[in-house]
């Protein structure tokens, strides 16, 4: 027996034909003359009425929410049915009869997180995970077209990328090691061989932040490019973003519709993006009654205020050196600045951070000292400037932050199947 | 100025034309009348003679191995030059003059591992990393064509997948957690929503094995499929393997040639693969003077002997239940067996392991108890059988083992840019 995906039936493949389905009972409504089953499979949901006179009646009565089954019947157009189609059911074979399913209609967010392994079956999570998969695909597609080579950074690292306060440590046999929070320094190694490299890989941050935009374990889209400057960097980032948005609009229209998410926002993403300097950002914020001084870090509230004002993705660049990492390059004409840039989006704020990396060995070493970091901990990193240094840039973008913005998710935890936060790490 | 990739010149794009290159000095040979520079970029290497009368002479004399530079000159066909082409050099601009490069001609393997961050610049590692990138791409391509959804499994897990002896533990705020060694149990959750899922993600094993096929951190291609049996599983695995091999033959011919790796081996990979039972494997081994009894686990030596004999990828299936994990399904007609299967390749042995997962709740719980595992540690996993269980199968394949076989690498550490083994974890 060959089974038809529900999506195909909803697309009108099989009017008045006999079909076989395979899936799970999503909803059940019992009438005296008819049992209405809503059946789900990976592709969609469809109404399957079972009439009392049908041979399937006893099975339809017996079957419980989330039971797995195969079902045979005739496809009928019916404007009253959700999706416009239904299957008048003639036969049901139960595969796995489910015990009483714990998720019912109006359950708390907290409970749904407790039973994440079951909640992932919801139509909502099914759709979000499909969009996530597509966004990953388009990311690879974009970088391939741009002739970047995909590489795999290490998860176990010996020294910290940006200081150690938010690193997870662990015992590695007899050594103390850490989990990576960015592939950047390793991608920098690889540009000396491959010039343009990227990765999509886990990163870890031991931050106790409990916000809608923090995970302790997230997937990081990172890229590094040799012989490139800030202009190239912002172009690369905005083109990536525009490419992902455009391809998602083409590919995931239905998912967005069913999720009631605003796809027009993605369609309107066009290059070039607006770009403001950090100094301009501070001015804008002070004009909005924020009390913030030049040199202060932008927090979530500040980022959100700026981003909501733009209403679309944009860049802030040229941050004060004092709030940036040791590897940031300084512009020749202004030693107070760092050649770094963040991309921000409405509601979420920062979704990517990048910049030009200091390529002068002496300046890099001076900066390490200035920041109280030990030169010998960065020995191999300094080697990259010792042997054939080149100007280069790179960035990291949080895949889940990107998805949270794209899909209008209330919380970043829904952008990943098994979210890890300070309080949540099960299942 | 626009720069031409060396590959294009070697392909004959620019005979007798003026071109500009950008790259690093790979080799240097000094004569009285001519300095021969071999320049590398990400795409290839080319000989660039600089004559004494050239304006570039003083720069050519000054430049050191691994210095970065731009170079201008005229492309000439020359059968004596490696690759058949050279660039008669007229101008050199040094970007970063390198200090004395520590890697010279005949260095020990150990030293090259110490300076991995520099050794990655070698032509050999450049080529291997490119093939790796392509194999990753073809993996995604294959699963997309088979309508699998890419998902991201968690790295932090609370309970062990196959017992805890080889898990890395760590402190997660106030909790004890582990790093995943397989996404399998999480992929099983997701098939109840998406039916066919896969991932390419890191896995971790705290094994002290010092062999040519073990890493403590490796990339794991894993897939799980609902409503499928052992036949479907082996078909999926062999089609994945054949697809990757065929696409790699098309795409990486040059890389294989330059690496002097045997690509014909890949071209000859055709489905269906040979399949033998564990029982047959034991018989074959005993016929080869191995002393092994039914019920014993196959070690590297046994796997290698069998695999070298086949000379190509093949499956061993139907292992004794006693040497398999708790989640393995048992065939109805033989409770001593587990419906599991490994794929083996010459020289490496096992590169994938998979099977049918026990979908009956009672049998699963009985098996947990039998193996001394606590039911409550697997509560959410048992839920998958409680609510709409379905027959399903899955497998995991080590990306680096696959590459080690494909590329005839002597050691698995060269299949990943930053290998992590018991002794190696730097840089």
Render pLDDT for A354-391 as a digit per residue (tens, 0 to 9): 999 999 999 999 999 999 888 988 999 999 999 999 99
Q: With the C-alpha atoms ordered B271, B272, B278, B280, is the resulting torsion angle positive or negative?
A: negative
Q: Which tokens go with B337?
A: 């067996």
User: What is the predicted pLDDT for the residue at A160?
Assistant: 55
Determine if the pTM surpasses 0.90. Answer: yes
For B:151-170, CB contacts with A below 8 A are 151-156, 158, 168-170
In this structure, the number of other CB atoms found within 10 A of the CB of residue A114 comes to 17
pLDDT, tens digit (0-9, with 9 covering 90-100), for B45-79: 999 999 999 999 999 999 999 999 999 999 999 99
Contact B68 A130 (CB under 8 A): no
Between residues 61 and 120 of chain B, which touch chain A (CB distance below 8 Å)?
A: 66-68, 95-96, 98-99, 101, 115, 117-118, 120
SS3 of chain B: helix, strand, coil, percent, to 5: 35, 25, 40
Cβ of A195 and B41 within 8 Å? yes
Instruction: Name the residue of chain A whose CA is nearest to B24's CA.
Output: A388
Cross-chain Cβ contact B388/A137 below 8 Å: no
Residues of chain B with pLDDT under 50: none
- Residues of chain A in contact with residue B392, where contact means CB-CB under 8 angstroms, are none
B200 burial level (CB within 10 Å; 0-12, 13-18, 19+) = buried
Rounded distance, CA A236 to CA A355, Å?
12
pLDDT, tens digit (0-9, with 9 covering 90-100), for A382-419:
999 999 999 999 999 999 999 999 999 999 999 999 99
Q: Which secondary structure element, helix H or strand E, spans residue A245, and what is its range?
A: helix A230-251
- Three-state secondary structure call for residue A261: coil
CB contact under 8 A, B192 and A216: no
Examine the pLDDT at A164 and tell me if it is beyond 70. no
Q: Minimal CA–CA distance to B150: which of B203, B202, B204, B194?
A: B194
CA proximity to A49, closest of A62, A65, A33, A64: A33
DSSP bridge pairs for B202: B219
Distance between CA atoms of B149 and B190, rounded to whole angstroms?
A: 10
Task: Give me the residue from B152, B390, B416 closest to A152, CB to CB.
Answer: B416
Q: What is the pLDDT of residues A321-354, one digit of tens each?
A: 999 999 999 999 999 999 999 999 999 999 999 9
B171 in contact with A, Cβ within 8 Å: yes
Tell me what the pLDDT averaged over chain A comes to.
96
* A192 vs B contacts (CB less than 8 Å): 24, 120-121
What percentage of chain B reaches a pLDDT higher than 90?
A: 94
Tell which phi-psi region holds residue B295, choosing left (phi > 0), alpha (psi between -120 and 50) or beta. left
Residues B76 and B84: their CA atoms lie apart, in Å, by 9
Check pLDDT > 90 for residue A210.
Answer: no
Residue closest to A127 by CA, chosen among A411, A347, A414:
A414
Q: How far apart are CA B356 and CA B324, in angstroms?
A: 12
Give the closest of B132, B144, B389 to A68, CB-based.
B389
* Contact call for residues B51 and B33 (beta carbons, < 8 A): yes
Give the separation between CA A285 and CA A290, rounded to whole angstroms: 5
Greater confidence (A159 vs B230) lies with B230
B98, A22: Cβ pair inside 8 Å? no
Check CB contact under 8 Å for A417 and B158. no
B427 cis-preceded (ω within 30 degrees of 0): yes
Between CA B238 and CA B252 the distance in angstroms is 20
Concatenating the DSSP letter of every residue in B218-238 gives EEEEEEEEES--HHHHHHHHH
A30 compared with B106, residue with greater pLDDT: A30
Residue A328 has what DSSP assignment?
B
Within 10 angstroms of residue B20's Cβ, the number of other Cβ atoms is 15
The answer to whether B256 and B147 are in contact (CB under 8 A) is: no
Among A102-106, A218-222, B409-413, which stretch is predicted with the lowest mean pLDDT? Answer: A102-106
- pLDDT score for B159: 72
User: What pLDDT score does A162 carry?
Assistant: 53
Candidates A401, A364, A373, A402; CA nearest to A211 is A401
ipTM: 0.97
Of A144, A170, A173, Cβ closest to residue B137? A144
CA-to-CA distance for B206 and B203, rounded, in angstroms?
10
Backbone angles phi, psi at B202, to 5 degrees: -70, 145
Spell out the SS3 assignment of A374-419.
Answer: CHHHHHHHHHHHHCCCCCEEEEEEEHHHHHHHHCCCCCHHHHCCCC
Q: Which residues of A fall within a CB distance of 8 Å from B204?
A: 155
Closest listed residue to residue A379, CA positions, set B125, B67, B68, B102: B102
Instruction: Give residue for tokens 């004959």.
Output: B12
For residues A110 and A208, is the Cβ–Cβ distance under 8 A? no
Specify the DSSP class assigned to residue A12.
Answer: T
**Full DSSP string of B93-132:** EEEEPPP--S--SS--HHHHHHTHHHHTTSHHHHHHHHHH
β-strand pairing of B18-30 with A217-226: unpaired
Between CA B66 and CA B95, with CA A391 as vertex, the angle to 5 degrees is 45
Of B209, B341, B185, B181, the closest CA to residue B275 belongs to B341
Identify whether B272 is preceded by a cis peptide bond (ω within 30 of 0).
Answer: yes
Q: Of A204, A219, A388, A415, which to mutate for an interface test with B (greatest number of B Cβ within 10 Å)? A: A388
Instruction: Write the CA distances from A427 to A403, B372, B377, B383, integer angstroms.
Output: 22, 21, 10, 11
Collect all residues of chain A within an 8 Å Cβ-Cβ radius of residue B416. Answer: 152
Q: A252-276, pLDDT tens digit by residue?
A: 999 999 999 999 999 999 999 999 9
pLDDT attached to residue B385:
98
- Between CA B385 and CA B362 the distance in angstroms is 9
Local structure of B50: helix, strand or coil: strand
**Cβ contact B193:A120 at 8 Å:** yes
Pick from A99, A189, A190: which is nearest to B386 by CB? Answer: A99
For residue B62, give the DSSP letter: H
Q: Quickly state the pLDDT bin for A106 (edges 50, 70, 90).
A: confident
Gyration radius (Cα) of chain A, Å: 26
pLDDT band at residue A3 under the 50/70/90 scheme? very high
Report d(CA B218, CA B200) in Å as an integer. Answer: 10
pLDDT at residue A161 is higher than 60: no
Touching check for A212 and chain B: CB below 8 Å?
no
Would an 8 Å CB–CB cutoff place B336 in contact with chain A?
no
Mean pLDDT value of segment A41-70: 98
**In A, which residues are within 8 Å of B118 by CB distance?**
383, 387
Distance, CA of B316 to CA of A156 (rounded, Å)? 33
Write down the pLDDT at residue A105.
84
Q: Give tens-digit pLDDT for B282-340.
A: 999 999 999 999 999 999 999 999 999 999 999 999 999 999 999 999 999 999 999 99
Buried b (16+ CB within 10 A) or exposed e, A201-214: bbbbbbeeeeeebb
pLDDT at B210: 83
Q: Give the pLDDT of residue B218.
A: 98
For B323, counting Cβ atoms within 10 Å of its Cβ (0-12 exposed, 13-18 middle, 19+ buried), the class is middle
Q: Which residues pair with A340 in a beta bridge?
A: A355
Size of interface A-B (CB pairs under 8 A): 229
Answer whether B98 sits within 8 Å of A388, measured CB to CB: yes
Q: What is the DSSP string of B321-386?
A: GGGS-TTB---TT-TTEEEEEEEEETTTEEEEEEEEBP--HHHHHHHHHHTT--GGGGHHHHHHHH
3-state secondary structure of B155: coil
For chain A, what percent of residues have pLDDT higher than 70? 99
Sign of the alpha-carbon torsion through A245, A247, A252, A254: positive
The values of phi and psi at residue A38, to 5°, are -105, 120
- Please give the pLDDT value at position A165: 75
Cβ contact, residue pair A156, B208, below 8 Å = no
Query: DSSP letter string over A303-327?
Result: HHHHHHHH-S-EEEEEEEGGGS-TT
Q: How many residues does chain B have?
A: 427
* pLDDT for position B30: 96
Contact A193 B120 (CB under 8 A): yes
């Amino acid at each position: 027996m060959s089974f038809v995906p529900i999506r195909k039936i909803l697309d009108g493949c099989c009017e008045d034909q006999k079909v076989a389905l395979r899936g799970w009972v999503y909803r059940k409504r019992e009438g005296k003359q008819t049992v209405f089953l809503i059946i789900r499979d990976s592709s969609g949901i469809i109404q399957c009425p079972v009439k009392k006179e049908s041979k399937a009646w006893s099975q339809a009565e017996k079957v419980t929410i989330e039971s797995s089954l195969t079902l045979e019947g005739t496809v009928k157009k019916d404007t009253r049915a959700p999706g416009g189609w239904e299957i008048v059911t003639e036969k049901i074979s139960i595969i796995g009869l489910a015990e009483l399913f714990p998720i019912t209609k109006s359950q708390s967010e907290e409970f749904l997180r407790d039973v994440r392994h079951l909640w992932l079956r919801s139509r909502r999570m099914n759709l979000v995970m499909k969009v996530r998969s597509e966004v990953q695909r388009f990311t690879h597609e974009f970088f391939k077209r741009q002739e970047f080579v995909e590489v795999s950074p290490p998860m176990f690292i010996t020294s910290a990328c940006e200081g150690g306060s938010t690193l997870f440590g662990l015992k590695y046999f007899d050594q103390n090691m850490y989990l990576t929070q960015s592939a950047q320094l390793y991608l920098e190694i690889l540009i000396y061989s491959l010039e343009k490299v990227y990765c999509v890989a886990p990163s870890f941050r031991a931050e106790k932040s409990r916000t809608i935009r923090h995970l302790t374990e997230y997937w990081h889209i990172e890229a590094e490019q040799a012989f490139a400057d800030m202009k190239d960097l912002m172009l690369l980032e905005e083109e990536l973003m525009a490419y992902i948005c455009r391809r998602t609009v083409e590919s995931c229209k239905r998912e967005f519709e069913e999720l009631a998410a605003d796809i027009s926002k993605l369609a309107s993403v066009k290059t070039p993006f607006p770009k403001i300097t950090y100094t301009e950002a501070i001015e804008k914020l002070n004009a909005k009654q924020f009390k913030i001084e030049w040199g202060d870090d932008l927090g979530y509230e500040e980022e959100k205020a700026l981003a909501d004002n733009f209403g679309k993705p944009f860049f802030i660049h040229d941050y004060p050196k004092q709030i940036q990492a040791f590897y940031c390059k300084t512009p020749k004409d202004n030693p107070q600045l760092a050649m770094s840039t963040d991309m921000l989006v409405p509601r979420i704020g920062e979704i990517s951070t990048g910049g030009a990396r200091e390529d002068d060995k002496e300046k890099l070493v001076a900066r390490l000292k200035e920041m109280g970091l030990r030169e010998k901990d960065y020995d191999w990193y300094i080697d990259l400037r010792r042997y054939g240094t080149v100007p280069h840039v790179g960035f990291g973008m949080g895949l889940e932050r990107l998805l949270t913005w794209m899909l209008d998710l209330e919380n970043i935890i829904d952008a990943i199947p098994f979210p890890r936060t300070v309080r949540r790490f099960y299942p």
